[in-house]
Amino acid sequence: MDFLQTLASGKTLFFDGAMGSLLAQKGTDMSANNNIIAPEKVAEVHQEYIAAGSDCIITNTLTLNSIYAAKRGISDSGCDEANRAAARIALAAAAGKAFVLGDLGSTGEMLKPYGTGDKAQFFNAFCRQVAALTENKIDGFIIETVFDLAEAKIILQACRDTSDLPVILSMTFATAAKGGRTIMGNSAVEIAKAALDGGAVAVGANCGDLTPKEFVPIVKEMLPVGLPIIIQPNAGIPRLENGTTRYDLTTEEFAAGLLACHKAGAQLLGGCCGTTPQHIAAIRQLLV
């Protein structure tokens, strides 16, 4: 079965977890340039998640739209090649054992009137990234770690206009109060309806300021819209300790929180910042 057929079957699908922190542990920096300068390290992370039970892995391209990449000194052509390389690395690591989704994240800028971001510039940047990723036969896209629904809609439209591959929309929430809100005030229901209207095949949440269990009300708010739900929490609420970001949840506590999200109706389960292959293995052990 392809990704869409598997999704439609209702099967619980396990995604991967953090990429950058694991690359740092392997002696590289957290830059997406690793797709070019340390492809073997990126491949190792993918392979470790697959060994832990991930059914879906995500390309190392979260910050590889041309707007964000330019801030890191990466040219448009360099950005294109890094996206192509990321897709090749993930597909080779998956070797048919896992689905590969192209990762699309925020530009790091605010759209007007809140910032100087231009809708047309955003749209063109994401069309370019989608086109580069689809030069290799990935299975779909995931838009994630975006907190402004206006930007998410632009990315979703770029996916739809540039590719016929399925797209998942995952937003970042600042609070679980009142059914969940992003820092821009977008509600879980509003996001789910926008995902459905925009042609996404699944919707959900990742990263943010919530513990895994705090994603439960977001799942419940989104579920009636009718799309499959994806939840990818951090390994707890981040805190700084001597300049280093720490996450306090054990793998067992993380898995218990994600299990609660599954019981509430989430079909797609994974991790975000601070999570490792051990976190994915822990939730699989509870459900498989």
At 248 the pLDDT is 85
Give the C-alpha distances (Å, rounded to integers) separating 47 from 57, 98, 102, 129: 9, 10, 16, 24
At 131 the pLDDT is 98
Place of tokens 């929490």: 233
At 288 the pLDDT is 79
| Residue 236 phi, psi (nearest 5) | 110, 180
3-state DSSP call for residue 139?
coil
At 237 the pLDDT is 82
Tens digits of pLDDT across the chain (288 residues): 899 999 999 999 999 999 988 998 888 876 668 999 999 999 999 999 999 999 999 999 999 999 999 999 999 999 999 999 999 999 999 999 999 999 999 999 999 999 999 999 999 999 999 999 999 999 999 999 999 999 999 999 999 999 999 999 999 999 999 889 999 999 999 999 999 999 999 999 999 999 999 999 999 999 999 999 999 999 988 788 787 778 889 999 999 999 999 999 999 999 999 999 999 999 999 997
Cα separation, 81 vs 130, in Å, equals: 12
At 181 the pLDDT is 96
Alpha helices in 53-167 (DSSP H): 66-70, 76-94, 119-133, 149-162
Alpha helices in the chain (DSSP H): 3-8, 20-25, 34-37, 39-52, 66-70, 76-94, 119-133, 149-162, 188-197, 216-222, 251-264, 277-287
| pTM listed for this prediction | 0.96
Cα separation, 89 vs 80, in Å, equals: 14
CATH 3.20.20.330 fits 3-287, yes or no: yes
Cα separation, 64 vs 80, in Å, equals: 8
At 159 the pLDDT is 98
At 108 the pLDDT is 94
Tokens standing for residue 194:
């926008």
At 245 the pLDDT is 78
Place of tokens 């995604």: 15
At 244 the pLDDT is 77
